[in-house]
Structure 1
Amino acid sequence: MFRSSLAAVLVSGASFAVLPAPSAFAAGPSGLIAHRAVYDLELKDASDRSGISGMYGRMVYEFDGSDCTGFTTNFRFVTQIDTGDSTRLSDQQTTTFEDLTKRIFRFETKSFTDEQLDKDVRGAAEDDQKGVKVELTQPATKEVDLAESRFPTEHMLDIIQNAKIGKNFFEARVFDGSDDGDKSLVATTVVGKQETPAADDADADKAGAFAKTPFWPVTVAYFNEKSSGDAMPVYRMSFKLYENGITRDLTMDYGDFVLTGKLSKLEVLDTKACK
């Protein structure tokens, strides 16, 4: 799974592959499969205070690796934003590595506006038995001690496991290295009953071999660590989730504006089985 804080037009994506039957895909003990997914983004709604009159873009999400070697995620999120008076190109590029066994997480995020670098955040986090210790190397050297948190792939596996046992609501603290890389967020997750794609399901046909595979509708709301009462989430994301970790039909709610992301291309990547 992914979370963004928020150039060809807008990112060159992977070519569509003819996929074999779902049972033919290699997956490790976690059940997750390596894949590259491309999503077309459109503006669904925007408040007056957002200053946004139009927005579109593309998101490319590549998840690779294995349970034994660790998982690498390459994520690129590019949007062209129209304010009525001007347009600007926003480009966020994130690379992470997560070792599920050692509970190590490394991250790097670069954010550009009109091809000019705005922010570069790099660091690593690990479980030190008392919580999560973060060591930032960019934009400045800094150490941060956080409460016990889940890393992104762990949290994805938590969602899938809870979905399987029918637990439709749970909360977790999550650290994904986003924003300034120095805090975790509280993630509230709601999982619906498993469904089979309907005939008019917008992007199901783009899922190739998974076009008719059952999925769970999921909504995750992220809150600041110290939020209380009826606090508004920093960010909310809804999506359709397959048991193998592939997602589609995204809705990304940033408060002042909402984007939709429809799966346009999917490629399953080759991975070596763990020995």
Structure 2
Amino acid sequence: MAWRYRVGLVVAAVALLGAGAAQAYDVAPHRAVYRMALAKAASGSGIATAEGAMALEWGESCEGWTVEQRYRLKLGYTQGGESDVAVSFATYEAKDGSSYRFFIERARPGSMPENISGKAVRGPAGVRAEFEAPEPVKLDLPKDVLFPTQHSLAILGAAEAGQKFLSGMVFDGNEVEEATEITAVIGKQIPAPTEGEELLRRPSWPVRLAFFGPDNAPGGLPDYEMGIRLYDNGIVTEMKLDYGDFVVDATLDKLEKLPKPGC
């Protein structure tokens, strides 16, 4: 398959850096569970079914942000057979944008798990990423590269400012590679509802994200795209993962508020 099992967070997108940016929004630490199902598949894609679940926990400490994400997706093929992949993703990101740590594990039935881990540190000249697994690798990245939560806060900032388009380079450590270019198209604000879950009685925006990996040719099509509904507190209720020849919907099933730190 040409597509990649990559969800790379979803709530994660460009110019708001450091603790000041993190404190500028009423971000809600939370735990969310999403149900995943096939929305559509192109003729000839070979995909017959898709089902799975995703659990996300976005936590906050006085000095940083933690993200823990787990998902499992099972695909059934038109010619018979299926594939099953489980991924766990855990990160810590300093609020001042100075450092980032990551651990990813991918597992398939009958195969040894694949682990990727490492850290990235921001210095005066740029960002140095150091992978510890699967083998030691060092990468020098531009100083304007963003980490995932910086990227999420940047999308919120752009949406609040009425911007319709945002583009930037983001490093998440999901692959042993350099930063990914992510472009965001932000739609018209949806007013806050007056009823329903308290955490969701907030304004939100439809956002379309396109991901271009380091090997993507200039002017080429994105590796994959994602449509989300993003609330001003960082919560995402709807996701549409578009891999070109098939699309998977992820819909919020459970939502729990987590405590904020008493700094």
- Indicate the TM-score class for this superposition, using the shorter chain for normalisation: 0.7 to 0.9
Any stretches of 5+ residues in structure 2 without a counterpart? 8-21
Equivalence map 1:1-275=2 (5 Å): 5=6, 28-48=23-43, 50-66=45-61, 68-84=62-78, 85-114=80-109, 116-148=111-143, 149-180=145-176, 182-196=177-191, 208-225=197-214, 227=216, 229-274=218-263
Q: 1:28 to 1:162 in 2, by over 3 A?
A: closer
Q: Distance in 2 between matches of 1:115 and 1:77?
A: 18
- The DSSP-based 3-state class of the residue aligned with 2:198 is helix
- Counterpart of 1:87 in structure 2: which amino acid? E
Distance of 1:31 and 1:121 partners within structure 2 = 32
The share of aligned pairs that are identical, in percent, is 31
SS at match of 2:47: coil
Query: What are the superposed Cα offsets for residues 10-44 of structure 1, whole Å, 9 maximum, x if unpaired?
Result: xxxxxxxxxxxxxxxxx955421210011100111
CA shift at 1:271, angstroms?
Answer: 2.6
Taking structure 1 as reference, are residues 193 and 136 closer, same or farther at Cα in structure 2, changes over 3 Å only? same
SS of the aligned residue for 1:53 comes to: strand
Task: Give, in whole Å, the separation in 1 of the partners of 2:203 and 2:98.
Answer: 30
- 1:116 match: secondary structure: coil
Aligned residue type for 1:267 = E
Confirm or deny: 8 A CA contact 1:73 1:96 kept in the other structure.
yes
Distance 1:29 1:230 in 2: 34
Count residues in correspondence: 244
Q: 1:98 to 1:115 in 2, by over 3 A?
A: farther
Unaligned runs of 5+ in 1: 7-26
The TM-score normalised by the length of structure 2 is 0.85
| Distance in structure 2 (CA, Å) of the matches to 1:196 and 1:174 | 29
| C-alpha distance in structure 2 between counterparts of 1:145 and 1:49, whole Å | 40
* Post-superposition offset of 1:119: 1.6
Q: Deviations over 1:163-186 (max 9, x none)?
A: 111111111111111123x21011
Taking structure 1 as the reference length, what is the TM-score of the superposition?
0.81
Alpha-carbon distance in 1 for matches of 2:200, 2:60: 24
Does structure 1 retain, via aligned residues, the 8 Å contact 2:98–2:123?
no
Tell me the secondary structure at the aligned position of residue 260 of structure 1.
strand
Residue 37 to residue 147, structure 1, CA distance change in 2 (3 Å): same
Against the structure 1 CA distance between its residues 211 and 29, is the aligned structure 2 distance closer, same or farther, given a 3 Å change threshold?
closer
The one-letter amino acid paired with 1:213 is: R
CA distance in 1, matches of 2:228, 2:178: 24
Query: Which residue of structure 1 lines up, in the alignment, with residue 10 of structure 2?
Result: none
What amino acid does structure 2 have at the position aligned with 1:157?
Answer: L
1:51 shift after superposition: 2.6
